Amino acid sequence: MVPNTRTCWLDSEKPMQADIFVRRRNERLILFGAVAALTVGAIIITDYDVIAGFTSVSKAITWGASNFYPDARSMQDLPNVLDKLWETVLMAIAATTTASVMAVVLALLGSKTTRIHPLFTIPVRAFASFFRNFPLVGWAMVLMLAFSQSQLTGYLALVFGSVGYLTRAFMETIDEVGVSSIEGLQATGAGYFHIVFQAILPASLPLMISWLLFMIDTNIRDAILVGLLTGTGIGFLFDLYYKSFNFHAASVVTIVAALAVIVVEIASTSIRRVIL
């Protein structure tokens, strides 16, 4: 009797699949055990009271419901809150556009498609990696040593926090551009700048604008946090109200900021859908 080749092959595959399943299950168990051990160790080292932490949630909700809400008096501060919000939005947009111009130049130098010389690639990528991974709060704290608490400090912190991220995103966008149009222009004897402005940037522009809108959306959120440190914008206003125990006015700031972030995100998403 001739054995069924397909049946033998399936029978040999079953033990292999079982071994893979067991190995993946063991890896998940090891990962779960490591995370659990780290959590327990952190609780022991910090003397964190888990029961008190869970019970305090209900107390926090009760306190917020009884204190953290707008009242008639706090609504009188709404014009000032809106003015500071507009200041924060403008600072975020200005910082993002400045960083995007710097990022385009650096991306053209660092991209494998448009680099003038291979030696530019490593420094540009190292620059982008450093600025992208250095925390925004760190930039704000460092810059405050030179410029103290001012709008310039917040603006520069957002610029430095954005330029690394946009440089990396723009480089990847340029590298994804098809080489057919580039080779066609090179065959006609086109120069470097002609290729960049006639082929590379037009093909990359929609995705670059998408990254720019995403960064504006992100920087508006970050500008609120930076304002707490640099004494600017709506973040500073929240800090001022909160530290003076004017919780009703602080709640107005929080609600206005949250609504602004939602509106900007919806508008940014709608524009990205149109251009992509």
Per-residue pLDDT of the chain (276 residues; tens, 9 = 90+): 445 555 554 455 556 666 677 788 888 889 899 999 998 898 889 888 888 878 888 888 888 888 888 888 888 889 999 999 999 999 999 999 999 999 999 998 888 877 777 788 888 889 888 988 888 888 888 888 888 888 888 899 999 989 999 999 998 888 887 666 676 766 777 777 777 887 788 888 888 999 999 999 899 988 888 888 888 888 889 988 988 998 899 999 999 999 998 998 888 888 888 876
Residues 195 and 85 in one domain: yes
Residues 62 and 80 in one domain: no
CB within 8 Å of 241: residues ≥ 6 apart: 247, 249, 250, 253
- Supply the pTM of this predicted model: 0.78
185: domain CATH number is: 1.10.3720.10
Rounded to whole angstroms, how far apart are CA atoms 94 and 271? Answer: 19
CA neighbor of 85 nearest in space, from 222, 274, 226, 257: 257
Residue that the structure tokens 């900021």 belong to: 257
Where among 47, 67, 87 does a domain terminate? 67
Residues 33 and 101 in one domain: no
User: Do 205 and 85 form a contact (C-beta atoms < 8 A)?
Assistant: no
Exposed/middle/buried for residue 150 (C-beta within 10 Å: 0-12, 13-18, 19+): middle
Indicate the number of domains in the chain. Answer: 2
Task: Give the pair of three-digit tokens for residue 77.
Answer: 């501060």
Residues 85 and 135 in one domain: yes
Q: What is the residue range of 129's domain?
A: 76-275
Where among 67, 99, 116 does a domain terminate? 67
Rounded to whole angstroms, how far apart are CA atoms 70 and 162? Answer: 34
Where among 32, 67, 102 does a domain terminate? 67
- Between CA 225 and CA 228, with CA 227 as vertex, the angle to 5 degrees is 70
Residues 199 and 229 in one domain: yes
Q: What are the φ and ψ backbone dihedral angles of 239, each rounded to 5 degrees?
A: -60, -40
